[in-house]
Amino acid sequence: MATSEQKRQKKLAKKRSKEIAKRKQLAAEKNALRSIGGQVTAASSGKFHQCYIYNSLLDAESHGIGAVVVSRFLPDGNVVSACFLIDRFCLGVKDCYARMMSPRQFSEHVQGMREHDLVRPCSPEMAKKCVADAVQWAGQFGITPHPDYRTVEKIWPDVDASQSDQEFSFGQDGKPMFIAGPNDSPARIQQVMDALAAHAGEDSYHITAGIDPDAEGFGEIEVIDAPTGEARPLDEDESITRIDPAE
């Protein structure tokens, strides 16, 4: 009897141990979903929900800015949407983010884009190739993708971009063209310009400045003068002037 009771107690202890381990695992998975990285990792093995690419990324004559948007299912039926904002003229992955939402919310999110004919459905392979090619293009000029890229790009570890034969065009006339936007800080603008000067070579890039002359640090910005190729401060009357060392 004593031996039978001991066996029963061992079985109960083993069962309780498994239950505790299971609860800990579920708690860990729940906590992981509270972070963007955890959400992306959880969705990375799920079924693809939808994939879209901006038409502007497929048109060599377009303005050069567009996005790749993908979504994958989570085990609970929600999806994680990953968006990569692409600057195919210069910066590569200019911005990116991932968000957890319902499939309906995602459909509503892209509905406006579809109604205005901004996007088209695409395969995960084509979407990933566009993003990877953009990163590679910018990288050769010393420009790194958005800081969140390494987290968000984990959405598709199982996707082979080489399976897509879609070709993407980058730069203007084969050269990087940096367009400084209103949200680019003087420090960021200088960083990009320094990278282009160091990696692209003389007469091998274009710069378009569009900065608020009252912005902090404006007077500290230096640009590459044309045609001398020398650095000088950016003048107030050049806030929307194109500065092109190739001219």
Q: What percent of the chain has pLDDT over 70?
A: 77
Mean pLDDT of 237-246: 37
Residue 65 has pLDDT above 50, yes or no: yes
Q: Are 121 and 107 in contact (CB under 8 A)?
A: no
Q: What is the pLDDT of residues 190-230, one digit of tens each?
A: 899 899 999 987 778 888 765 444 544 444 444 444 334 44
Phi/psi for 242 (5° steps) reads -80, 130
Spatial neighbors of 149 by CB under 8 A, at least 6 apart, are: 84, 93, 96, 135
Question: Can you give the length of the chain in residues?
Answer: 247
55-64, 88-97, 160-169, 229-238: range with lowest mean pLDDT: 229-238
- Mean pLDDT (the chain, rounded): 81
What local confidence, expressed as pLDDT, does residue 9 receive? 73
